[in-house]
Amino acid sequence: MTKKHVAVLMGGFSSERPVSISSGNACADALEAEGYRVTRVDVGRDVGAVLAELKPDVAFNALHGPYGEDGLIQGVLEYLEVPYTHSGVLASALAMNKEQAKRVARAAGIPVAESKVVNRFDIRGEHPMVPPYVVKPVAEGSSFGVVIVREDQSHPPQIVSSPEWNYGEAVMVERYVHGRELTCAVMGDVALGVCEIIPTGHAFYDYDSKYVPGGSKHETPAKISPNIYQKIQTLALKAHQAIGCRGVSRSDFRYDDRHSENGEIVWLEVNTQPGMTPTSLVPEIAAHAGHSFGDLLSWMVEDASCLR
């Protein structure tokens, strides 16, 4: 039996275009190896016309950042009635807005750090909260624009109000949580393993840590106590369900165990379009759970639908 025709959507217009190209090509190669007929689509403004002509059975969404994981491309695919992978319009838009996603998570009983959204020009003169804190664009991925303000910093970060800032006027200011970086993948209605991310030569898990080979070490499974491991899995699945995610997602956490093993667990965000590059976390976590890269992608293609 001939397998489905899959259009792998990659590229796009966001700052994460290089990551999307890498993810898209890796997924296309693996899907071809699984026997699918694959068309690689570098997404432009004419994506609707391109897909209408291709008439794929499934669109595999390998886009990252604005336009790709914020509900916009999902809306195009719904309009064209092309089944697609990952989350739908509402969950994608909600997860992409960090502050709104945190409100939903908090209402679901998931622990989050105190935060507020301010205009970037309003923090030029004085700290918006007592340091340490983190300044993040409200709707960006891959740690673009993230600035950490330490306890001993006497003034707010000037880059945020400078002309070089390209991440929008609204920023989220969030209490900095000390501790370890943990992440957990969810596949359908199952929380997979927990991984600890250890940045190598970087202050935090920034863009280079994520995508440059050797930028970070991954401990899969994370070396944490069984009860903390299970709690992270429970919270990741709860966030996935509360926000309405579909397919595969990945939730990021901070775990501060400096003073006790139980410590403090804080949910940071859910990623509805986890990277699928050679250094990406979800394929590694899935492999530890017994799913090869090809198996994982095949599951995502077969799980694809409209009205997600």
Bridge partners (DSSP) listed for residue 217 = 198
The whole-angstrom separation of Cα 113 and Cα 9 is: 34
Query: CA-CA-CA-CA torsion for 161, 165, 170, 174, nearest 10 degrees?
Result: -80
The whole-angstrom separation of Cα 231 and Cα 82 is: 37
Catalytic residue among 211, 216, 246, 263: 211
Task: Please indicate whether residue 271 is annotated as part of the active site.
Answer: yes
| 20 and 63 Cβ atoms separated by less than 8 Å | yes
End-to-end alpha-carbon separation of the chain, Å?
Answer: 27
Task: Please indicate whether residue 67 is annotated as part of the active site.
Answer: no
Pick the closest to residue 278 from 219, 222, 210, 221 (CA basis). 210
Task: Please indicate whether residue 114 is annotated as part of the active site.
Answer: no
Catalytic residue among 22, 97, 115, 142: 142
Quick check: helix, strand or coil at residue 261?
Answer: coil
Residue 9's φ and ψ, nearest 5 degrees, are -90, 125
The whole-angstrom separation of Cα 140 and Cα 195 is: 23
Catalytic residue among 20, 87, 209, 271: 271
Catalytic residue among 16, 69, 140, 206: 16
Task: Please indicate whether residue 284 is annotated as part of the active site.
Answer: no
| 104 and 112 Cβ atoms separated by less than 8 Å | no
The whole-angstrom separation of Cα 15 and Cα 166 is: 10
Which residue in this structure is represented by tokens 């989350």?
Answer: 87
Q: What is the largest CA-CA distance in the chain?
A: 66
Catalytic residue among 40, 120, 180, 250: 250
Task: Please indicate whether residue 12 is annotated as part of the active site.
Answer: no
Task: Please indicate whether residue 126 is annotated as part of the active site.
Answer: no
Task: Please indicate whether residue 16 is annotated as part of the active site.
Answer: yes
Task: Please indicate whether residue 275 is annotated as part of the active site.
Answer: yes
- State how beta strands 5-11 and 58-61 pair: parallel
Catalytic residue among 12, 65, 263, 275: 275
Q: What does the block give as tokens for 110?
A: 């998931």
Q: What does the block give as tokens for 18?
A: 């290089």
Catalytic residue among 252, 254, 255, 298: 252
The residues annotated with a catalytic role in the active site are: 16, 142, 211, 250, 252, 269, 271, 275
